[in-house]
Amino acid sequence: MSDDKDNRVYSTSTAKHSKATSNADSTALNLLRINNIINSTAKNTNFRYKKRVSDSKFDPVRELERRVLDKLRPMYSWENFKELMIAINSLTNFEKMEYLRKLEINLKNMNK
């Protein structure tokens, strides 16, 4: 290596390349942040979404029941669905929550 008169060492650094990569990463990160802001704003201004979130905080068992039964309804005949609803309503809140969570997991696995 040779030094110049100000005692600076010549290097084989790729400073320009690393700066360009850094700028690209920064731009990509900024785009992700902007998309996240847009999506969260769109969700939070949607009346139905806000209602579902507030309902879920107020009564999580009922909201879970609504979500699961909405997914199950097309799979059952009216008579069988009515029997399922009667059976679910006869459970205690703890049993209902446990059963509905298992159903929700099974439905997610079916859709994969």
Hey, which of 11-20, 27-36, 80-89 has the most confident mean pLDDT? 80-89
Taking the domains of the chain in order of start, what are their residue ranges? 13-45, 50-111
Overall average pLDDT of the 32-40 stretch: 86
Average pLDDT of the chain?
81
Q: What is the pTM of this model?
A: 0.54
Are 100 and 68 contacting, i.e. CB atoms less than 8 angstroms apart?
yes
Q: Alpha carbon of 3 to those of 11, 12, 24: distances in Å?
A: 10, 13, 33
Tokens of 69: 């039964």
Question: What phi and psi, each to the nearest 5 degrees, are found at residue 6?
Answer: -95, 15
Give strand ranges (E) for the chain.
none
| pLDDT for residue 42 | 75
When pLDDT is cut at 50, 70 and 90, the band that residue 91 belongs to is: very high
Question: pLDDT band for position 69 (50/70/90)?
Answer: very high
pLDDT of residue 26: 79
- Tokens 């809140």 label which residue? 93
